[in-house]
Amino acid sequence: MARVLRIATRKSPLALWQAEHVKAALGELYPELKVQLMPMSTRGDEILDRSLAAIGGKGLFLKELERAMLAGEADLAVHSMKDVPAELPEGLHIAAVLTREDPRDAIVSNQFNSLDELPQGAVLGTSSLRRQAQMQNLRPDLSIQPARGNVGTRLQRLDEGNFTAIMLAYAGLKRLGLADRAKQVLEIDVCLPAVGQGIVGIECRRDDSELNKLLARLNNQVSDICLRAERAFASALQASCHAPVAAHAVLEGTQLHLRGLVAMPDGSRILKGDASGESGKARELGLALAEELIQQGAGDILRSLEETG
């Protein structure tokens, strides 16, 4: 196989770990295949003084990588699926997803061992509206402050005393060998994760049939089914980056269990729901749960956030 596969990736340590992980997995399956990384800088990585919502949403982490694939300069891109918007550019798709890592959120602090231990008025760093909403609902006394940047940057800011604690995806800490920095891993019913959290996805051109065939062997069916339900839920809500939306699916045998959440950023109103059904109906399950939350008033919340955002 003479082809050289070019993986477009962000330059952050976690993004590079994920790209190297996919490269290694491809190398195991296809020892004759040559794979090289193309590290690229994205606007999402470069603009750190404003929230993602203010500069155009999490899709900013992907745009340059997707442009390279569409221009034929790269063959595939590797993403944290929680950073991937519901709608992808024409001609691109997620060809495979890997086995899900722990999807939960972690509290990292140098002084305190849990969320409950944080003193009144403690400064909690997170730029995620989803985390902010759930934490403000649980602990309205906390001061939530923005914490953009890669994992290392956020940990450095914590160590420099800018925050009492920060919130990070536990999966990212584990992948970077930093799991011991997590003082508490929050259970799903305490803080519902982002759609796709813990899942690495591989994006490529739909019309590259040879590559799609190669990548199909990397696809983890359980992750794929769960992700399909979670992304259908978010897509049906037409949630923008201004909206705190969370979803998490679990597959038990042939039964798929999905939880979803829509909230006001200040945590003053949180709508939750859950649904179960056959794994073959993952997308329908996500759509049904979104409709249930819309009936509860999620549409009003999302519209109000669009107007103010």
**DSSP letters for 245-304:** EEEEEEEETTEEEEEEEEE-TTSS-EEEEEEEEEGGGHHHHHHHHHHHHHHHTHHHHHHH
Q: With a cut of 80, say whether residue 125 has pLDDT above it.
A: yes
Q: Is residue 144 one of the residues assigned to a domain? A: yes
* CB of 132 closer than 8 Å to CB of 265: yes
Full residue range of the structural domain in which residue 243 is found: 230-308
- Per-residue pLDDT averaged across 39-53, rounded? 59
> Do the domain assignments include residue 292?
yes
Q: Which of 83, 105, 208, 300 is catalytic?
A: 83
* pLDDT above 60 for 17: yes
Between 63 and 187, the more confident residue is 187
When divided into structural domains, the chain yields a total of 3
The pLDDT, as a whole number, for residue 155 is 97
**126-151: average pLDDT:** 95
Q: Are residues 93 and 110 in the same domain?
A: no
Q: Is residue 224 part of a domain?
A: no
- Among this protein's residues, is 180 annotated catalytic? no
List all residues 6 or more positions away from 24 whose beta carbon is below 8 Å from its beta carbon: none
Top pLDDT among 306 and 153 is at: 153
Burial (Cβ within 10 Å: 0-12, 13-18, ≥19) of residue 195:
buried
**Residue 239's pLDDT band (cuts 50, 70, 90):** low
Q: List, for residues 246-286, the tens digit of each pLDDT value.
A: 999 999 999 999 999 999 999 999 999 999 999 999 999 99
> In this structure, what CATH number is given to the domain that contains residue 159?
3.40.190.10
Q: Are 74 and 95 part of one and the same domain?
A: yes
Q: Output the DSSP codes for 167-225.
A: EEEHHHHHHTT-GGG-SEEPPTTTSPPPTTTT-EEEEEETT-HHHHHHHHTT--HHHHH
**pTM (2 d.p.):** 0.91
- What pLDDT was estimated at residue 299? 86
Burial classification of residue 157, based on how many CB atoms lie within 10 Å of its CB (0-12 exposed, 13-18 middle, 19 or more buried): middle
Place 304 in a pLDDT band, splitting at 50, 70 and 90: confident
Same domain flag for 79 and 203: yes
Residue 225 lies in a domain: no
Tell me, yes or no, whether 95 and 111 share the same domain.
no
Identify whether residues 161 and 124 lie together within a single domain: yes
What tens digit of pLDDT does each residue of 68-95 get? 999 999 999 999 999 898 889 999 999 9
Same domain, 205 and 237: no
